[in-house]
Structure 1
Amino acid sequence: MSKKLNILFLASWYPNNLLPFNGNFIQKHAQAVSKFCNVSVLHIIAHNQDEKFKIDTAENNNVYEVIVYYRKINSNSPIHQFQKLKRRQEAHLLGYKTILEKVRHIDITHLNVVFPAGSFALYLKKKFNIPFIISENWTALLENTPTQLGTITKKIVQKTLDNADVLCPVSEDLKQALQKLTANLNYQIVPNVVNTNTFTFKEHSAENKILHISNLKDEHKNITGILDTIKELSKTRNDFFITIAGNGDYHFFNQYALKIGIQENLFKIEGAKSTEEVAQLMQSHNLFLLYSNYENLPCVISEALVTGMPVLTSKAGGTAEMITDENGIVVPPKNNKILLEKLNYMLDNLANYNCKEISKNGINIYSYEAVGKQFLAIYTKLLSK
């Protein structure tokens, strides 16, 4: 196809004025696709505001973004639930009309996260015969997560999955979870992306510097498990330093580390970091550690690999799919004894990892170019049917 396709990125989550980091991995997917297609993003979000609807538009890295803020309905009575659905549909239609004023027509809807935006993808397919694919990243669809889908939500999710033309989970693990929800057999696994202009390879120092980046939610990322293991590690060696950072309650974990007796010269626990700051931290450390109880396909692992960091991670969701003997080690979740053993081993053998090769392989899998081409191939095949 010589003419660029017009792709509607319909996003259940997306960075906005209220939640600036929400679904930033979707934004990165949109930017990856924009290398090959015309991409317009539509996201709606409820807000306590006077106006019934407020539309923000922006051009961001070659992506046309339309965010519709709609006046929030706070009651949950049956009549108000119906009004919420009606208002969401009106917000989607307003945003869609705004996009059509710029691009005239849409070739494919690319739904990002099946719920709650999936209902509008179904509407566009039924009303205008616009096919849609789904990029899926929602941990709630996995079996071993604390979030459980309600009966109505599950039915909406299943209907949307059943009617999608192609399902694009980010991992084999999530694909297996989707197969229990839908009879749809059209799958293509496409991973999350990494901005390889920001996350770049840099020669790492010979120091044993461990890094953990996350949302610092303990029930999810098991920060206390990491710190308990670091305490045990410090009983036999002190030739290491760990940095933990994220947009959670880092003060609590600072106090926890001191309470269990970790020496202050062995750790640093800080708050949220910008994307650029995360990249700099990865370039200045030489071992990435993730010890989650559950996961999907964590962007921080792919970012660490692209910068050339070997990774020590728990087996959760798709993490094991990202790790080979050449770039890291996988341990069971919630098993501090094995984590300690493998952490000791990796600290002793960091020099044996080929960090340049780790970075090269990571770029080949997770770069905007690589992922954008995968989506273009999916779009082209779909439209050729």
Structure 2
Amino acid sequence: MTRVTFLRTRPAESVHELWASTRRREGTTSVEVVALDLPSSAAALSGGLLPVAVGRGVADGIGWVVEPGEALDMGVAGWRITVIDTGETELVLDALVRSKAAYLRTGRGRVADAARLCSLPGVDATVSVFVDSIDDALAAVASGAGDLLLRGWSTDDVGGLRDALDILLIERSAVPVDITIDAAREELPPELFKAYLDQIDGSGVVRPRTDWAAGRSTVPPAPPERQSAAWPDATWHGTKSEDAAAAVIGDVRGILDRALEGQRPSVAEIERLFRSRGDEVDAIARVADRLRARANGDDVTFVVNRNINYTNQCYFRCGFCAFSKGPRSLNLRGDPYLMTVDEIVERTVEAAEAGATEVCLQGGIHPGFTGDFYVEVIEAIKRAVPDMHCHGFTPLEVWQGAETSGVSVHDFLVRLRDAGLGTLP
């Protein structure tokens, strides 16, 4: 076992919004309700909690905690199911195998037996158990529990548990951390899917709750001496980055040590580094800084650049893009515009007069553009300001330019280079 997950949850007979929002501020992420009904589900979601149904109810939760016989009739993805360790062992085993349940919930005195059951072929469940203290948690993990249920634990208590364990501790939401976004989107109703996304980061782990977000003028949550803001407790904030990095062992330490010796990480190793958490982030940052210093010393370069977006009209409708505009008839934000080549050159000359040595050229894929447009822009800039470095064109622009020119991407890039394009963004 390389990691242990934990869930901060509360049992309740019913839920109202004020109670749910109070529990959420305390750090709780889910509430378990016997015979979950629609009012309790709605109140939990309004308060920021994910509702979990104990047994069958009127309303669907994001997950269910059910006895073995009920698990066979759920008709939902196994990652939404927790089977209660009760009754005959054969029935529990049958329920785990046939439902593909994610968790087997047991009592603290039965963890070892449950772990043996979950180790059998065909069983994908993890042993899950409520623990009331750090000693309870350590004993449960030693006996084979891989998921800990925490009820009313403080931030510092959770930090103490993290430091007491000798393996990685990760906070999950009401479902396992390894569920893909696509699987969750397909399986969950929209209101549950949104509430789930509100709690997690891109890897499915519960995000730390802070007021900071990219673009806000608030202080980032990472402590002054740390690179990672994974935990909010006092011990975490009081540990220096060098001490945290020195404590990292295992595969991440091996990858970093080999990098310091000059060995490039493999693709699989890079993927592992991207999954790093907590102290591992500090270790990566410190090694990266050492490698930077070797390559470049302490010199920092900069460029005086002007960004020229020549159009915000685009016939591609990428779901992630909040920039591009269609025709006025679509009533989208802002006015569509398209610069002429002369206007682009004029802005380049203005930039040069202001001291810029580089222009960055990017824009939407206008319906009238062909590869000739991109080449014409570069040639016109170079005629007007020969020494201006041209940094331009997104991969989609390059592809579209090649496609409309009837040539390969390679050949179109050669044409752009010959026209004067210096670098690609």
Give the TM-score normalised by the residue count of structure 2: 0.24
**Structure richer in strand, relative to its length:** 1
Task: Point out the structure with max Rg over C-alpha.
Answer: 2
Give the TM-score normalised by the residue count of structure 1: 0.26
**Higher normalized contact order (CA 8 Å, seq sep 6+, divided by chain length):** 1
